[in-house]
Chains A and B, each alone.
Chain A
Amino acid sequence: MCLRIFSVIFMCCFLSCAVWADPASDQTAFKNYFYKKFPEIPVGDFINGVYAIDQTRRQQWLEIEEFPPYDIAIDEGEILFNETVFSDGSSYSDCFVDGKRSKKNYPYFDVNRNTVVTLELAINDCRVSHGEQPLKYKTGDIAKISAYLALHSRGEIIEVEVSGEAAINAYEQGKKYYYSKRGQLNFACVDCHVASSGMRIRAEILSPSLGHVSNFPVYRFKWGSIGTLHRRFSGCNSQVRAKPLAGQSEQYKNLEYFLSYMSNGLKFNGPSTRR
C-alpha cells in the first residue's frame, strides 16, 4: 500500500516537473525528438519542412525556387515598404530603424504592453501610430511587406528570448495551445506535426514542427497567393474543424512565440513556397 502511495506521489512529481520544465529544457527535448526521429536530416535542413524529408518533393520545390512565385510579392512588398508615405509624411522606415526590420528581432515579448510582438503586428503598429488604418493580418499587403523583410533576413539565426515572468507565461500559453486538442476532429498541433510528422495524410506528407516558423510568409499553391504564419495557423485549425482565430490574436501570437523559441538556432529562409 505504502509503495503504491509512494509511486503515485513520485509519478505526480515527475509529471509536474516534465510539464512545467523551463523553456530551455523544453527546447532541448523538442529538438532531440526530431533529431532522433529523422537522424538522416542535417540539423540545418529542418527549415525546409517536408522538403527535407521527401526527395521527390524536394526536387520539385528546388525547380520551383528557380522562378519562385513569391517574387512578385517581394517586389510589391519592397515598393509598399519603401514608397508608402503616411498621411503625416512619415514612412515604414521611420518605425523600422536600427535593424528592427530584420526578422530575427521577432517575435519578442514587450513587457510594457504585456504581449508578444510579431513582425506583422509591428508593421500595423507602425501604420496606426502614424494615423493609418491597419492592414488585414493574414494575406495581402502585410504578407508582401513581410516577404520583402523576410528576404533580407535570410540566413539570420532565429534567437527568440523568453525571460521574465510575463514572457514565460506567454510562452506557456503558446505551449498549451500547441499541445491542446481542439475542433470536431479532436486534433492538437502535436498530433500531426510531431507524432505523425513524416507520415502521409492523403497525398501530403506532414512536416515536422521544428523549423516551421523559419520560412514564412509563404506562397502556397493551395492559396494561389502569399500568406502569413497566422493564415497557416487558421488553415490548420479549420482542417481539424476548429473555428480559426483572428490573425494576431493572443493565442496565435503566443503560439508563434512558442514555436519560434523551439526553432532557435535555425536560420530564416523565408519567403518560401509550399504546396
Chain B
Amino acid sequence: MSAHKRLFMICFGVGLMTSLSAEEAQLNFDTQWQKAEDLRLRAALIGYEWRDTEKILRRSREEYEAGNKAQALSLLSQGYAQSDAALAQATREEDGWKRRVIE
C-alpha cells in the first residue's frame, strides 16, 4: 500500500472518530494505533526503526487515555508516518547502499 493511501486511511480514521460514539472511537483508535505499532515492529525487526517512534506511539496512547484526543491523534499520525517511512527507507536501502561503496 502506498504512503498516500495509508495517510488517507489515517485521515479517514481520524475524521470518522470525531463523529463516532465513545466506544466506537476507542475501538477505532485502538485499531489505528495497533496498525502503527505493527509497522514499527516490522521496521524494528529489520533494524530500521527510528529512534523516537516507540516513544511517540506510547505518548499517543497516554494522551488518548488522559482524554486529550486531538493530541493523541496527532501523535498517532506522526508515529504511523515514521514507521511507514522507516520501512520505505529499508526497502530503498536494500540496493541503495551499493551506490555509496568506495571504488
A→B interface (CB under 8 Å): 15, 18-19, 21, 26, 29-30, 33, 175-176, 179-184, 186, 188, 190-191, 194, 237-238, 241-245, 251
- Other A-B contacts than A179-B97, A182-B93, A191-B100, 14 sampled, CB-CB below 8 A, are A33-B102, A176-B97, A181-B89, A181-B97, A182-B48, A183-B51, A184-B51, A184-B52, A186-B89, A190-B100, A190-B102, A237-B51, A243-B49, A243-B54
Determine the main DSSP class of A at the interface with B.
Answer: helix
Give the nearest-CB partner of A183 in chain B. Answer: B50
Between-chain CB contacts (< 8 Å), 18 pairs: A18-B101, A19-B101, A29-B103, A30-B102, A176-B97, A179-B98, A181-B93, A181-B97, A182-B48, A184-B51, A184-B52, A184-B85, A186-B89, A188-B100, A237-B51, A242-B49, A243-B53, A244-B51
Contact residues in B for A182 (Cβ distance below 8 Å): 47-48, 89, 93
CB of A180 within 8 A of CB of B97, answer yes
In the assembled complex, B96 has its CB within 8 A of some CB on chain A: yes
How many pairs, one residue from A and one from B, have CB atoms within 8 Å of each other in the complex? 62
Which residues of A lie under 8 Å from residue B103 when comparing CB positions? 18, 21, 29
Q: Is the interface of B mostly helix, strand, loop or mixed?
A: helix
**A194/B102 contact (C-beta < 8 A), A181-B89, A182-B93, A188-B97 known:** yes
Binary flags per residue of B77-97, CB closer than 8 Å to A gives 1, else 0: 000001001000100110011
* Contact, CB under 8 Å: A175 / B96: no
Tell me which of A30, A179, A244 contacts B100 (CB under 8 A). Answer: A179
